[in-house]
Structure 1
Amino acid sequence: MENVVRLTRTLQVAAAAALLLAATACGSSDSGGDAATGLNPPDIKAPTKLGKTEGAVNLIAWAGYVEDGSNDPKVDWVSDFEKQTGCQVNPKVAASSDEMVKLMKTGEYDAVSASGDASLRLIASGDAAPVNTDLVPNYKDVFPDLKMQAWNSVKGKAYGIPHGRGANLLMYNTQKVTPAPTSWAAVFDDAARYKGHVTAYDSPIYIADAALYLKATKPELGIKDPYALDQKQFDAAVALLKKQNADVGEYWGDYLKEVSAFKSGDSVVGTTWQVIANLATDEGAKVKAFVPEEGSTGWSDTWMVSAKAKHPNCAYKWLDWIVSPKVNAQVAEYFGEAPANAKACDMTSDKSFCTTYHAGDTAYWKNVAFWNTPIEQCLDGRTDVKCVPYAKWVQAWTEIKG
């Protein structure tokens, strides 16, 4: 786990209201990107063939996705790419999805590693172009359940190459939380039992976690998709989170702080990622993490090409490189996520890595509702009501935290 400490995926709340108001999305996670939700992205054509590489590629990425040995001499998958393609990699690390959207709008970058709460905004605004997957040979080995999903495709068009994924898990201190929980009730309805020692993810998208719990426990609300909430459903989720706030000791965005809190006992139960659970265990914390009976939310990242890319040929070369088996295995282990390429599992240094991260466990991922961007057109297909857009989620999150 020595490489994991460089992970800085925080997805912090941004204040770019204009970007949030422009947010849009499509489809539910099991319907692909062709649901009738009013999304009509500009008619941008994907290339039919590649030309000569341009000598450079400008990338926006999460920390840990584009490593050239400067952070750790033993962690470098950029140098070989540059040697083989002649494309000099110029990376820009982004700290949030909103920052990625803002940077892509400048037209200065060729590709981005977007999560589902950014990818669909880029599609809708015309900042991301469709991708011709035939020009990405390694795409054929990507797990089928990552292809043509609601966050990376629209109307049968692919808008990117899947990179990796992870679930938002429930973690608990096995010595202080008894009996062992099975439900998200541990951090919602039963949170008062651990008052001051509950932790929650610090982002407006966490409202979906409350909605997921209410979907199972309050069927009368009629929640079908935790990212498609009408006003009544949204108000119920917000009310649940405001109630939870009284018992939360810390909202986490920095994963190292969460590890420290579980080691010290300041936190005993809350949401987490697999990589955090692994690191906490390695450092002596008595914790377990799992997907509760209601399922969980999660994230899936996609490499997307800018519609204004100045180096599209190098961008395509990068997309194929980053999802190639050996490199995808390196990134997955360094970052702490399930790889997208099925063949990567044979190339991880830890031979149990893909089992730990459920890389090819289709049944596991069916219980994960991957991040999506809430819009007024309800993502669950309803047309008789309007759903609450992401800008309102941001406002509500401020109120929830007080």
Structure 2
Amino acid sequence: MSGGNLVGLVGRDRLRLARLGALLGVGVLALAACAQAGATTTARPMRGPSSSATPVTPSATPTAATRAASPSPTPSPSIGEGEGTLRVLTFQGYVEYGGTSSQVNWLTPFERESGCVVKLDRVRTSEEMAVRFATGAYDAVSPAPDLAGLLVAQGKVAPLETALVDDYRRIPRRLRELPGLREDGKVYGIPYLWGVNRVLYEEGRPEGPSALYETSSAAIRNSPLSIADAALALGGRRPGSKTEDPFQLTSAQLDAALRLLAEGEGPDRVYWDGSLDLVRALSAGPVRIAQALPYHLDLFRRAGRPMKALEGVPMTGWVDSWMLAAKPASPNCGYRWLNWVSSASAQRPAAAWTGLAPANPEACGGHARRMCEIYHVRDSRWLRDVVFATRPTRDCGGRGGECTDYTEWAERWKQLLK
């Protein structure tokens, strides 16, 4: 799954979800309570991103922050003086400044502490982010895996000096070392938020993940990367069909996954883009099985709906990270930003607001505690069943061979939805 296709899944829909509860009969008070649990953060009501902050004089000479580094660099000098302004591109809901709610603001504390005024642009999809990043002069960007791999391959983002990011080592090694965030021994991304795709059902227990595709009364996330979930399910259903990496498929494996996806195609099938679509499908329509997030399972359970999740099966997941542009105008502010977004102080409210898991386990307190519990953040055994997304590439993720790339996945997905 791409975080880009689930952007703002709580922040964007929170109030509408609560209002929708009454209409759909799922318990408006329970839904509202669930929404409010994530909406309140520990951040104080503060200024928005356009508020004034005392600018600092730009550094005359870039510091060590601008140099490429290996994942385990030798100690480096501290970050130099900030340049005064930082251009940030992210997904809706990933950075809040009090505009949605005065109680939801983890941007202004950064501005006050760093002296760097953030010029914030937010998008809803990876496609929109790719266009904006290509045409705008941004310093920092938070791409989903489908875009992150492309930016690294194209040289559009810079290798990072991880010694300048204080909390980098607090992030679990498995998240830090995902292929999409590293190349040739260099680190390009700092993990921020992550999620997992699960199969939710209401009645009976499906024999396996492939049950999601065998009926038209199903809700499937609208993303080309959902093909990987079908490939993973196919491996459990047909002997000899198991793939080494469901995000790196040969032409034959891609065909097989798409055949499974089309198997139960019918008028009742829903391809959902946002939480509101999914809630509506499971609450008012014939859909009784869905590809969804742990957050959705928690939401329905707290609303009194007997939803369950298929346990003990492989799952796909994704990690959204922060990267710096190849030639940032404000590298020092950029490293101050990486320090902030990797800290528990920033990831705690971000996780609570988005309904996703924080990459830094130290954030698992306060209002983010519930998110950490439902995503099993500290349970390494549970997380062994998660295959985290990377961008599909023709060289099979650098392992050699002939695989299909993301462009082909996107085209085949469009054909499926016609």
TM class, shorter-length = 0.7 to 0.9
Structure 1 spans left out of the alignment, 5+ residues? 10-43
The equivalent position to 1:296 in structure 2, one of 315, 319, 328, is 315
The equivalent position to 1:388 in structure 2, one of 380, 387, 404, is 404
The equivalent position to 1:212 in structure 2, one of 232, 242, 247, is 232
- 1:97 positional shift: 1.7
Pairing 1:181–2:197 present? no
* Alignment partner, residue 282 of structure 1: 302
Pairing 1:166–2:195 present? yes
The amino acid that maps onto 2:302 is D
- 1:144 positional shift: 2.2
Pairing 1:72–2:104 present? no
**Equivalenced residues, count:** 353
TM alignment of 1:77-96, pairs within 5 A? 77-96=106-125
Tell me the alpha carbon deviations over residues 214-248 of structure 1, each in whole angstroms, 9 at most, x when there is no partner: 22223434521111111111111111112132375
Structure 1 residues 247 and 182, CA, compared in 2 at 3 Å: closer, same or farther? farther
Structure 1 residues 75 and 375, CA, compared in 2 at 3 Å: closer, same or farther? same
How much identity, in percent, do the aligned residues show? 33
Pairing 1:363–2:389 present? no
The amino acid that maps onto 1:131 is L
SS of the equivalent of 1:262 reads helix
- 1:331 positional shift: 0.7
What CA distance in whole angstroms lies between the structure 1 residues aligned with 2:95 and 2:280? Answer: 27
* Alignment partner, residue 143 of structure 2: 114
Structure 2 spans left out of the alignment, 5+ residues? 1-7, 15-65, 70-75
Tell me the alpha carbon deviations over residues 182-213 of structure 1, each in whole angstroms, 9 at most, x when there is no partner: 5213213xx33xx4x21111111111111111
Pairing 1:55–2:75 present? no
- 1:377 positional shift: 0.9
* Alignment partner, residue 327 of structure 2: 308
What CA distance in whole angstroms lies between the structure 1 residues aligned with 2:192 and 2:169? Answer: 13
SS of the equivalent of 2:352 reads helix
- 1:87 positional shift: 0.8
What CA distance in whole angstroms lies between the structure 2 residues aligned with 1:264 and 1:58? Answer: 42
* Alignment partner, residue 61 of structure 2: none
* Alignment partner, residue 399 of structure 1: 415
Contact 2:356 2:371 in 1 (8 A): no
What CA distance in whole angstroms lies between the structure 1 residues aligned with 2:414 and 2:173? Answer: 38
TM alignment of 1:309-388, pairs within 5 A? 309-345=328-364, 347-349=365-367, 351-379=369-397, 381-383=399-401, 386-388=402-404
- 1:282 positional shift: 3.2
Q: Answer with 105-114 or 75-84: which moved more.
A: 105-114
TM-score, length-normalised on structure 1? Answer: 0.82
- 1:289 positional shift: 2.7
* Alignment partner, residue 35 of structure 1: none
What CA distance in whole angstroms lies between the structure 2 residues aligned with 1:113 and 1:138? Answer: 17
* Alignment partner, residue 6 of structure 1: 11
